[in-house]
Amino acid sequence: MDAKIIAPNRVVSLAYELMLSNGELADSATAEHPLLFIHGIGQTLPAFDDQLNGLSVGAEFSFTLSAEDGYGVADPNYVLELPKSIFAGPDVPEDLLQIGAVLPMQDQEGNPLDGKVVEIGDENVKMDFNHPLAGEALSFSGVVIDVREATEEELDHGHVHGEGGHHH
């Protein structure tokens, strides 16, 4: 198989734009500062990988992922009322609670997750823990900049090394 074709365990370099259904640009990467990832190991959405599979260097792409194939449909169970008291204390900035602010939190097992402040009451704060792009159709367009075999070290570490990637 040609080493310049996107396939599992290959490092892919893309320039792209991600547009939302309302026309808003949600994310982008340029040829000078491309998105780098190891294809097929879970670094990107599975449906994103599927759409890119088999493309070669120089290929242009344009596709839309449904909310279900993207970050899922917004789940009302992920919108929670939390006691305002947990946002108080000597180490907590006074202006922390702002509508629209995204705050780093932890679940009961200590796993990190981000919550968006959607409402501030007298005693409770309503927070949305859905992914910020949940419920959104995601339209990607771009070009494949480069494809190469991932090294054993990159596969062992689960990320791209070298220029544009992770440095140890």
Quote the percentage of the chain above a pLDDT of 90: 77
E strand intervals along 39-135: 60-65, 79-83, 102-106, 112-120, 124-128
Average pLDDT, the chain: 91
pLDDT the model gives residue 163: 62
All domains of the chain, ordered by start, with CATH?
10-71+134-157 (3.10.50.40), 76-128 (2.40.10.330)
Q: Which residues of 30-39 are buried (b: 16+ CB within 10 A; e: fewer)?
A: eeeebbbbbb
- Enter the tokens of residue 86: 């947990």
Per DSSP, helices labelled H in 19-117 are 46-52
pLDDT the model gives residue 146: 96
CB 69 within 8 Å of CB 47: yes
Query: What tens digit of pLDDT does each residue of 15-43 get?
Result: 999 999 999 999 999 999 999 999 999 99
Per DSSP, helices labelled H in 65-108 are none
pLDDT the model gives residue 161: 86
Q: How far apart are CA 35 and CA 24, in angstroms?
A: 19
Cβ-based neighbours of 150, under 8 Å, separated by 6 or more: 9, 10, 11, 38, 160
Query: What tens digit of pLDDT does each residue of 82-106 get?
Result: 999 888 877 777 778 899 999 999 8
